[in-house]
């Protein structure tokens, strides 16, 4: 069996669109020692391919991290397959909150150095010595204390569209940078209860272990992250303290948690929490754009990109040659759009005070 995809993205998208059944989007992770990540990768690919699973999975010696979609009728078989691996038996499977079943169209499983890049080189760091888990009810209870410190361990563009009430943003570009920055920012709060959270739990779990490694004592993290919290709060009739939209790393780019919109269009400043990638193939910057600006700028992040969009294709290709877009698809849009964002926020604040 060939253990990688050999079909074009366009054909795969067409196949997905032609499916007559529904899919469920599921995320999961597990920290554990993996002796042979490559062998596990191939076992997973063979089994998941047979179940028509799509998605993105990272395997490393420290564990597994996955976001996938599966046909609804294979949900039980999927669980049985994953739980057949001893280190994943009983592992929590987070179901998407707002799911159209179109999150992925191909299965990609990659071996990485780590399932979450952290920059930690200290050999004495132990991911299994982590903070205490909080379920939805416990999270609501402990965060009702005004002395509790709530820390968001996600990226800027995730925090911008949605976060828990009173949560602190660690304003760095990567999780690798956030870890030492969180230690510095929280030094004067070592005696307080510190509650960390992220999308599905994987980043805040490692962050809680890092704080403990650096001498913090009362560290907690939200079990299953925002996704599990939202599902449990709804099922148990608990107040949902999350404001705005939950950003996700798949084709949906977000899950609608509640009706509130706390962010603004990066171009006109109107309330907006719709992420999009600049349609200019030489850019693809991730940014927030309202429907009006999407029409005005034809899906581009700037008038400059809009001008390039109308150049002959050959000229566009020549301009793109040799240009490394890096991680612009999930770039914070922070450096390039920060001046405009400051103007938007200042105007919104002035309007509110008026």
* Residue ranges of E strands in the chain: 23-31, 54-60, 63-71, 94-95, 107-111, 132-134, 149-152, 162-164, 168-169, 194-197, 219-222, 242-246, 255-256, 275-277, 286-288
Q: Which helix (H) or strand (E) holds 78?
A: helix 75-83
Catalytic: 278?
Answer: no
CB 158 within 8 A of CB 203: no
CB 288 within 8 A of CB 136: no
Catalytic residue among 198, 283, 290, 300: 198
CB 338 within 8 A of CB 327: no
- The residue with tokens 């992770």 is 29
246 three-state secondary structure: strand
CB 250 within 8 A of CB 103: yes
Query: Which residues are annotated as catalytic?
Result: 198
């Amino acid at each position: 069996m060939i253990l990688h995809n050999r079909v074009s993205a366009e054909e795969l998208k067409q196949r997905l669109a032609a499916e007559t059944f529904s899919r469920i989007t599921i995320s999961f992770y597990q920290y554990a020692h993996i002796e042979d990540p490559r062998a596990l990768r191939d076992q997973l690919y063979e089994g998941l391919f047979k179940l028509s699973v799509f998605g993105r999975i990272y395997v490393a010696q420290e564990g597994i991290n996955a976001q996938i979609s599966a046909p609804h009728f294979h949900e039980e078989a999927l669980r049985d397959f994953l739980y057949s691996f001893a280190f994943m038996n009983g592992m929590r499977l987070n179901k998407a909150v707002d799911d159209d079943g179109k999150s992925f169209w191909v299965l990609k499983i990659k071996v990485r150095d780590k399932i979450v890049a952290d920059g930690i080189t200290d050999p004495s760091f132990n991911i299994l010595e982590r903070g205490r888990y909080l379920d939805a009810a416990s999270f609501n209870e402990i965060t009702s204390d005004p002395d509790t410190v709530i820390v968001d361990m996600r990226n800027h563009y995730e925090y911008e569209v949605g976060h828990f009430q009173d949560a602190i943003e660690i304003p760095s570009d990567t999780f690798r940078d956030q870890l030492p920055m969180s230690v510095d920012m929280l030094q004067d709060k070592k005696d307080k209860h510190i509650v960390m959270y992220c999308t599905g739990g994987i980043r805040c779990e490692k962050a809680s272990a890092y704080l403990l490694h650096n001498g913090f004592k009362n560290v907690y993290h939200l079990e299953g992250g925002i996704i599990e919290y939202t599902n449990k709060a709804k099922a148990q009739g608990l107040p949902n303290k999350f404001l705005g939209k939950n950003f996700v790393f798949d084709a949906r780019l977000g899950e609608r948690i509640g009706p509130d919109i706390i962010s603004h269009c990066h171009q006109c400043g109107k309330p907006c929490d719709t992420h999009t990638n600049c349609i200019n193939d030489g850019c693809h910057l991730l940014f927030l754009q309202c429907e009006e600006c999407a029409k005005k700028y034809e899906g581009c992040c700037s008038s400059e990109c809009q001008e390039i969009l109308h150049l002959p294709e050959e000229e566009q290709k020549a301009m793109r040659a040799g240009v490394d877009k890096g991680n612009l698809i999930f770039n914070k849009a922070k450096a390039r759009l920060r001046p405009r964002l400051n103007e938007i926020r200042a105007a919104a604040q002035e309007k509110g005070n008026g």
